[in-house]
């Protein structure tokens, strides 16, 4: 008889927290790199959650915009399901303690972002929605009797028995290792943005979970599709502050060095065109030698309430966005590809599941629609948690299990070189010859660290798609 073993959830962002909470009353071990669960991309998310709540809007219209942004590469059935679930996700988050922003009449305040034909973005704390969600869900998880929280650990190996994942190995900062049996292992480890020279993601968004799953033989999907946010604060460095798309929804416009509108004549939605379109236009202007500015001086209201994160980041670098244009640059932002999963979060490897940005269930297609990421984390996390609370999370013993390790990491200088290679070869604008040259260099680095092996897979996937599609823009196409 199989006994109930804990569900191991790796990652403390919105997707991991939603999964853990929804798995009640099954026992959950929630493992995070940070002791307090901080450091996730979710916590930095300035955009809100897309949901067709306005009576004039509809889930069908939300789905239409999602499919358009994704270049019709999406799983259409998954898209329609996700968009239909969005209003109930907002309601559930409110029961978890999330306080959403309200308008003057007391209704949910709805904003608009790129790719959306309607105002349907629900925010919390202005442009600090991700932090508000993490704060509320983390408090719930830490108080939940079925969840055991353990921070300060790195999951660096999967345990396999008879072709099934049955546990993980976790290592702490003091070199102690602990093998944990699991009825199911859920990867909620985020994306790969930190493998690029410029990113809006935190340093921990380095693809560690994805690399571990691939080392164990799990299948990937759509690795070539990396979204670049068009407006990160252009102050130099690796992890850049994000300048939320909601600013453009509130009237901010992109301009070149001469003060000319950057998106004029490029797309019918102008500055609110899908992110891949805007990011390429910003990147091209930079290649042409121009600094790109986001002029938000026409944005009304109290910035300390509407856009506190952007205001603080700008002021920290000597820029007052209420008085002067903001210098912006594209930055690696969201990975549409990842570990291939079905609609319930199952990977190709028995016992291994994935949710959130590390997973690819087809909902985002070739380019994610703004503010669908927190939505996906909540809705798919709740679905997966409910599934694993049943027999799917029972599992088998890890006695005699094989340990599959992710392997050694690149040293700092090699990692910096890899980031620059990926930025030049697999950034907003791609060219086959450049990608092939980068692949040859990465093949050498792959002998030294897992990050390069993951980059190898991304470049191979990009070269296997010669035609442009969504965020994958190949100049020869």
Q: Where in the sequence numbering do the catalytic residues fall?
A: 275
Please list the pLDDT of the chain residue by residue as tens digits (477 residues): 456 799 999 999 999 999 999 999 999 999 999 866 566 667 666 779 999 999 999 999 999 999 999 999 999 999 999 999 999 999 999 999 999 999 988 999 999 888 899 999 999 988 788 889 999 999 999 999 999 999 999 999 999 999 999 999 999 988 899 999 999 999 999 999 999 999 999 999 999 999 999 999 999 999 999 999 999 999 999 999 999 888 998 999 999 999 999 999 999 989 988 888 899 999 999 999 999 999 999 999 999 989 988 999 999 999 999 999 999 999 999 999 999 999 999 999 999 999 999 999 999 999 999 899 999 999 999 999 999 998 766 666 666 789 999 999 999 999 999 999 999 999 999 999 999 999 999 999 999 999 999 999 999 999 999 999 999 999 864
Residue 424's CB: how many other CB atoms inside 10 A? 17
Helices (H), 317-352: none
pLDDT score, position 392: 62
> DSSP letters of 166-187?
EEEEEEETTS-EEEEE-SEEEE
237: DSSP letter: S
pLDDT for res 1: 40
10 Å Cβ neighbour count for 176? 9
∠ CA 211-213-218, rounded to 5°: 125
- DSSP characters for 358-403? GEE-SSSTTSPPTT-HHHHHHHHHHHHHHHHTTGGG-----TTPEE
**Gap between the terminal Cα atoms of the chain:** 57
Q: What is the predicted pLDDT for the residue at 408?
A: 95
Chain-centroid distance, C-alpha 222: 14
Domains of the chain by start residue, with CATH: 7-192+336-404 (3.50.50.60), 229-331 (3.90.700.10), 408-477 (1.20.58.100)
C-beta of residue 452 within 8 angstroms of C-beta of residue 445:
yes
Rounded to two decimals, what is the model's pTM?
A: 0.93
Task: Name, in order, each residue with C-beta under 8 angstroms of 96's C-beta and a sequence gap of 6 or more.
Answer: 21, 136, 137, 140
| Residue 376 main-chain phi, psi, to 5 deg | -60, -45
Secondary structure (DSSP) of 106-131: SSBPEE--TT-SS--EE-SSTT-HHH
Q: Which of 214, 154, 200, 196 is nearest to 11 (CA)?
A: 154
Name the DSSP letter for residue 458.
Answer: H
3 state SS of 144: coil
Using alpha carbons only, how large is the chain's radius of gyration in Å? Answer: 21
- Please provide residue 123's backbone torsions phi and psi, each rounded to the nearest 5 degrees: -115, 160
């Amino acid at each position: 008889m199989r006994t109930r073993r804990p569900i191991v959830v790796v990652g403390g962002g919105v997707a991991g927290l939603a999964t853990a909470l929804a798995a009640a009353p099954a026992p959950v071990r929630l493992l995070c790199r940070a002791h307090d669960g901080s450091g996730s991309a979710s916590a930095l998310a300035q955009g809100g959650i897309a949901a067709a709540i306005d009576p004039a809007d509809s889930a069908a219209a939300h789905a239409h915009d999602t499919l358009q942004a994704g270049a019709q590469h999406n799983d259409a059935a998954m898209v329609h399901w996700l968009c239909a679930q969005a209003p109930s996700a907002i309601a559930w988050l409110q029961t978890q303690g999330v306080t959403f922003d309200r308008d003057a009449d007391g209704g949910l305040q709805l904003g608009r972002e790129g790719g959306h034909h309607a105002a349907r973005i629900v925010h919390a704390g202005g442009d600090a929605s991700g932090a508000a969600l993490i704060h509320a869900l983390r408090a719930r998880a830490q108080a939940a009797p079925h969840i055991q929280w353990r921070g300060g650990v790195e999951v660096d190996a999967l345990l396999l028995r008879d072709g099934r994942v049955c546990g993980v190995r976790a290592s702490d900062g003091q070199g102690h290792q602990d093998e944990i049996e699991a009825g199911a292992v859920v990867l909620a480890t985020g994306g790969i943005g930190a493998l690029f020279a410029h990113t809006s993601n935190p340093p921990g968004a380095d693809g560690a979970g994805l690399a571990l799953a691939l080392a164990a033989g799990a299948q990937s999907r759509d690795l070539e599709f990396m979204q670049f946010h068009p407006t990160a604060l252009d102050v130099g460095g690796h992890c850049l502050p994000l300048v939320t798309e909601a600013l453009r929804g509130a009237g901010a416009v992109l301009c070149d060095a001469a003060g000319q509108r950057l998106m004029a004549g490029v797309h019918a939605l102008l500055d609110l065109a899908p992110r891949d379109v805007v990011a390429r236009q910003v990147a091209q202007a930079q290649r042409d030698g121009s600094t790109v500015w986001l002029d938000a001086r026409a944005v009304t209201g109290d910035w300390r309430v509407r856009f506190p994160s952007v205001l603080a980041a700008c002021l920290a670098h000597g820029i007052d966005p209420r008085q002067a244009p903001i210098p912006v640059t594209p930055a690696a932002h969201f990975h549409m590809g990842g570990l291939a999963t079905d609609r319930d979060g199952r990977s190709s490897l028995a016992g291994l599941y994935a949710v959130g940005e590390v997973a690819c269930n087809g909902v985002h297609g070739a380019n994610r629609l703004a503010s669908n990421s927190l939505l996906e984390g909540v809705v798919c996390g709740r679905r997966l948690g409910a599934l694993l609370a049943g027999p799917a999370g029972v599992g088998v013993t890890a006695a005699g299990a094989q340990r599959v390790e992710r392997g050694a990491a690149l040293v700092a200088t090699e990692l910096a070189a890899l980031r620059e290679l990926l930025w030049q070869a697999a950034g907003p604008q791609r060219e086959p010859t450049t990608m092939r040259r980068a692949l040859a260099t990465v093949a050498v680095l792959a002998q030294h660290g897992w990050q390069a092996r993951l980059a190898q897979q991304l470049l191979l996937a990009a070269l296997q798609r010669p035609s442009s599609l969504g965020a994958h823009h190949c100049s020869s196409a």
